[in-house]
Structure 1
Amino acid sequence: MEMTWHHTPLPEGTAAAWHGPTLTHPTRPKLVFHHATAVGPRCYAPYLKALAQDYDVMALAMRPLWADAPPPDPKWGWDLFGDDLIHWIEATQEAPVLAVGHSIGAATLAMAATKRPELFKGLVLIEPSGTTRRQALLLGLLPYGMRLRLGPIKDALSSPTRWPSKEAAFADLRASKAFRRFDDQALHALLEGLLVPCDETVPQGTAEVALEYPRAWEAHLYASAPHTLPTLTRLSVSTEVIRGRPSLYMDASIEAKLKAKRPDFRFTHLTAHGHMMPLEAPIPVAEATRAALARLAA
């Protein structure tokens, strides 16, 4: 199944969205997908193609992947991506839509739905990320430049972005603890979406491939991570949550508080998989997503 890029002018840049083949069957619903930090829609190809068995899938790339987007600004928070999603839906979709988000994509999808609930028929939030209230307060007390020197954020800025070959990039990722749960097939699929050919400014022979997602944006989003529980609890749109193993990206205390405040949310736990589950295990996660979407659409 081939997927193609579509471009839409928005107030602050030209949005890019990866579309599956549009079918004209009148009962085939449309589905919007919002991705995680440091990856783009192409990284989710096996997962999105599995969803496309039942839906016309459109995956909006966040502004770090737009050709004409400005660089990150310390004043910007995650809600910027929620606003981009609202503008794109208004420009391209017949609302309300079903929508799925992963990690920051789930958190910013929730932000968009709290602002404009009439645009959404139902939400599936996969591992919605964010900080605890205490973590957000501590981040807010630090100057922005100091936040960029914190361990995980500093590591993101100092990690490799170019490799002499796809094989070298694969070897680097395979050695990383972050990808220890990925089998080789899933890791190769991820790399196909992560990498682009190096541009002509790189001296010939030094590097062949590079990351598409800018490290500066990745670090900025980690440094500006908000406490998202209040947003999640305010949702008025029908919502299902898919969770993996406990992780730093969605603290167990946040899940417990969300369950207490929103007993109407249905939770599906796939504890064999981690935070990156749609990339790590695309087929079982797609099956769980399709089951959730079917309940929301009923």
Structure 2
Amino acid sequence: MKMDWHHTQITGGTAAAWHSNTDGPTVVFHHATALGPRCYLPFITNVAQNFHVQALAMRPLWQNAPPPNRKRGWDQFADDMIAWIEATQDAPVLAVGHSIGAATTAMAAIKRPDLFKGLVLIEPSGVTKRVHLMLKLVPYRMRQTTGPAAEVLRGPTHWPDQEAAYADYRASRAYRRFDDATLRNLVTALTIPDTNGPGVTLEYPRDWEAHLYATPPHILPTLKHIAVPTQIITGKPSLFMDPSIANALRAARPDMGYTQLPDSGHLLPLEAPAIVGQATLDALDKLT
């Protein structure tokens, strides 16, 4: 399967989307924080068996992307998605999102349900109301210097070669479920040649990653009020999708379809692309 980049001028910049050369109904895919569309190639390959996949890159990965605006949260990506769909699609689309990509796809569908035929939300991330209210009491600069955002900013962004980058990721608990081959492919997709010298560097800007960790929304109200047909896919409980949110959503919206894959963590489309790809195809089947 071949993938090609397409670029579209929208409000705010030039959006980039990675298209499969496969036939079938269009599926728009929205990725997670710090993970560009290229990281999902094995997963996209599975979904593209039956669909034409258009993986929209979020604005941190656009050419000449501006730095994050501290006054704008995740909803900016929802607005970008709406503008891009309006500019590129002739009919309502099926959309698949992972993590922040699922959350912002849901936000876009709340604002413009007419643009969506159905949603598959994989581990839609966000925080509880309590955490959201607590964060609002903390100045933005302090949120950047404590917790997950601070950890991100302290992390390495450059390595002398791919092997050194792989060694760092292999040592991380976040990737302990990845087999060696899957993790090597992911590290290759996460990095690009360093234009300032030898070695490789992260493609996704750390300042954007930290900003997104510092500005998570209370996601349950958005998920509860989705008006288009929706299927939810989750892995084992994690801090990225609090079990209380998942349980409350099931109780409030029994009409949605739910698939749990308890052997995988929050990064399930990356760590188990064949299994999650099939689960996504099954979910899309119910929406078409």
Fold shared per TM-score above 0.5: yes
Deviation at 1:88, TM superposition (A): 0.4
Question: TM-score normalised to the size of structure 1?
Answer: 0.95
Matches within 5 A, 1:1-298: 1-23=1-23, 28-199=24-195, 201-202=196-197, 207-297=198-288
AA at the equivalent of 2:159: W
Contact 1:101–1:125 (CA<8 Å) still a contact in 2?
Answer: yes
Deviation at 1:186, TM superposition (A): 1.2
Contact 1:45–1:189 (CA<8 Å) still a contact in 2?
Answer: no
Q: Distance in 1 between matches of 2:264 and 2:190?
A: 20
Secondary structure of residue in 1 paired with 2:67:
coil
Contact 2:231–2:258 (CA<8 Å) still a contact in 1?
Answer: yes
Q: Distance in 2 between matches of 1:260 and 1:250?
A: 16
Deviation at 1:68, TM superposition (A): 2.3
Contact 1:104–1:130 (CA<8 Å) still a contact in 2?
Answer: yes
Q: Distance in 2 between matches of 1:241 and 1:192?
A: 29
Cα deviation 1:182-215 (Å, max 9, x = unaligned)? 011211121121010001x34xxxx410000000
Cα deviation 1:233-280 (Å, max 9, x = unaligned)? 110000000000100001000011111111101110000000000011
Contact 2:22–2:48 (CA<8 Å) still a contact in 1?
Answer: no
Question: TM-score normalised to the size of structure 2?
Answer: 0.99
Deviation at 1:73, TM superposition (A): 1.1
- Aligned residue pairs total 288
Secondary structure of residue in 1 paired with 2:40:
helix
Structure 2 unaligned blocks of 5 or more: none
Q: Distance in 2 between matches of 1:185 and 1:16?
A: 28
Q: Distance in 1 between matches of 2:287 and 2:139?
A: 42
Q: Distance in 2 between matches of 1:288 and 1:185?
A: 22
AA at the equivalent of 1:16: A
What RMSD in Å do the two structures reach over aligned CA positions? 0.8
Cα deviation 1:69-121 (Å, max 9, x = unaligned)? 21101101110000000000010012211000000000000000000001111
Deviation at 1:151, TM superposition (A): 2.4
AA at the equivalent of 1:246: P
Secondary structure of residue in 1 paired with 2:103:
helix
Q: Distance in 2 between matches of 1:57 and 1:263?
A: 28
Q: Distance in 1 between matches of 2:257 and 2:49?
A: 23
Contact 1:98–1:123 (CA<8 Å) still a contact in 2?
Answer: yes
Runs of 4+ in structure 1 deviating by more than 4 angstroms, as ranges, are none
Cα deviation 1:114-143 (Å, max 9, x = unaligned)? 000011111000000000000000111010
Q: Distance in 2 between matches of 1:143 and 1:48?
A: 39
Q: Distance in 2 between matches of 1:3 and 1:257?
A: 38
Q: Distance in 1 between matches of 2:66 and 2:161?
A: 29
Deviation at 1:22, TM superposition (A): 4.7
Structure 1 unaligned blocks of 5 or more: none
Contact 2:22–2:49 (CA<8 Å) still a contact in 1?
Answer: no
Q: Distance in 2 between matches of 1:215 and 1:32?
A: 25
Secondary structure of residue in 2 paired with 1:288:
helix
